[in-house]
């Protein structure tokens, strides 16, 4: 079943508002052993990932009390702290956390080199917050930091020509 269809079934904004699912399906592997998503909210996307990757270990973390989602491990962890590194290595890491630029950068610095498997994929969602002053709390925006990183394999996608709307990045290791 297509990721977009599964996303609509679980009512995740990745399939509805943002329309990320077709882009993700094009770039994600068919088989995954471990997937980490930062930011649980109502758990819709974790349910989507569990259905799309039924044999994978799916872990969701959030700074709020964890939800109870069948087949998914949900933990109360701040992804901007070294505690997140104790979770081990993942094939896919999705940052759908606070969207504050400093949090995005701190989480990426902690996880990309140390916790992303060789040939793994790091997804930085809602990168459009780099163009929103109320989310910019770092010296440089996350988009600027990524643009300056010549050694990263990054594919960007936006649902419109305006990067200030639904903008995401897939970073391949």
Per-domain boundaries in the chain: 3-172
- Residues 6 or more apart whose CB falls under 8 angstroms from that of 69 comprise 43, 46, 47, 50, 60
pTM, rounded to two decimals: 0.96
Q: How far apart are CA 71 and CA 55, in angstroms?
A: 10
Which pLDDT score, from 0 to 100, does residue 170 have?
97
Which pLDDT score, from 0 to 100, does residue 161 have?
82
Q: Which architecture does CATH list for 3-172?
A: 3-Layer(aba) Sandwich (3.40)
Mean pLDDT of 112-132: 96
Mean pLDDT of 118-136: 96
Report the Cα 45 to chain-centroid distance in Å: 10
């Amino acid at each position: 079943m297509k990721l977009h269809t599964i996303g609509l079934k679980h009512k995740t904004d990745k399939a509805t508002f943002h329309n990320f699912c077709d882009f993700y399906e094009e770039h994600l592997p068919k088989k995954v052993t471990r997937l980490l998503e930062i930011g649980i909210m109502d758990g819709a996307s974790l349910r989507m990932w569990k259905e799309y990757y039924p044999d994978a270990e799916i872990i969701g973390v959030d700074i709020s009390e964890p939800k109870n989602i069948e087949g998914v491990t949900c933990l109360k962890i701040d992804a901007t702290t070294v505690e997140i590194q104790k979770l081990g290595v993942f094939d896919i890491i999705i940052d759908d956390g606070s969207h504050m630029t400093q949090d995005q950068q701190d989480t990426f610095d902690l996880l990309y080199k140390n916790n992303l498997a060789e040939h793994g994929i790091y997804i930085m969602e809602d990168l459009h917050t780099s163009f929103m002053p109320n989310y910019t709390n770092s010296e440089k925006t996350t988009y600027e930091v990524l643009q300056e990183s010549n050694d990263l394999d990054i594919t960007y996608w936006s649902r419109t020509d305006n990067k200030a709307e639904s903008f995401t990045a897939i970073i391949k290791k």
